[in-house]
Amino acid sequence: MEFTSRNGLTKKAKQKKSWNDRLFDLAVYTIAILMIIMVVYPLWFIVIASFSNPADVTNGNVWFWPKEWELDGYVELFKQEIIWKSYLNTILYTIVGTLIALLVNIPAGYALSRSDLFGKKWISIFILIPMFVSGGLVPTYLVIKGFGLLDSFWVMVLPFAVSSFNIIITRTFFKNSIPETLWEAAQMDGCGTIRYFLTMVLPLSKAILAVIGLWTAVGIWNSWFNALIYISNEDLQPLQLVLRRILISNESLLGAASGEIASELRRLSEMMKYAAIVVSTAPIMLLYPFLQKYFNQGVMVGSIKE
């Protein structure tokens, strides 16, 4: 005969449940740790490879720590004076471009979330069209040239600031997160549309601001194709394009060299390749932890069905 405890469960059932819970927790933690390793280890390997001899990396002698610390890749990379100028260009493009994108996309998304917007349906269709149909590279180039933006700072931040995807994500966030009653209460207190948006809506929208800002910043930071097409002035080129040109130049020199010179160039080229990856991604990797809590809150807003 089994005696039940005060919570209605037998002692045997409680033990069985406790064991199952521990087994489940162990499985969850194991999977989580494996996923973390799968994500973190490739990044860590790039970092240690940038400080290692390429021969050790090729032969599989580098796993978790450099066999011998070498800084030749970073030294050779930063000897290129254009690196510092391009780094500053990329930082300016990212900051200014992100601010402009937020200034354009956030108000547009809020306007579309309002039920009293005149012609809301047709405006939404007009915004959705570029998500499926593009004008193409040549017409875009001709338009940018017609506006006199070629070889200018603004060609990297103005023509591509509007994003239909970001506007739709922002609209969904405002529609599902900002109650209509808040606007009604603000109207009763004599608050206008602009004041309401600036003083009440934006402070409640840190999550979507962080998400759109991070997406835009990462996109601009990694952008090199637009600069390749629209910028020929080396003083205006971003970091990604300059790094690409340096690596291609090294490959060309390597093909023309022979003997010990070719061996040394190959070693430096491999080290510079890893160093370039670290240099180009480090700022974004350092920025992400500060925005992670907002990113986690807002990243799923686009999946909410209206």
Cβ atoms 105, 208 nearer than 8 A: no
Would you state the pLDDT for residue 265?
A: 67
259, containing H or E segment: helix 259-298
- Beta pairing partners, 4: 10
CA-CA distances (angstroms) from residue 116 to 119, 169, 176, 180? 9, 19, 16, 11
Instruction: Identify which has the larger pLDDT, 110 or 54.
Output: 110
Question: Which amino acid, one-letter code, is at 132?
Answer: F
Would you state the pLDDT for residue 300?
A: 58
pLDDT tens sequence across 206-254: 888 888 888 888 889 888 888 889 988 888 888 888 878 777 776 665 5
Class of domain 72-303: mainly alpha
Using DSSP's 3-state secondary structure scheme, residue 66 falls into: coil
Would you state the pLDDT for residue 97?
A: 93
- Beta pairing partners, 146: none
What CA–CA distance (Å, rounded) separates 145 from 57? 46
| Residue ranges of domains in the chain | 1-70, 72-303
pTM, full prediction: 0.76
Using DSSP's 3-state secondary structure scheme, residue 4 falls into: strand
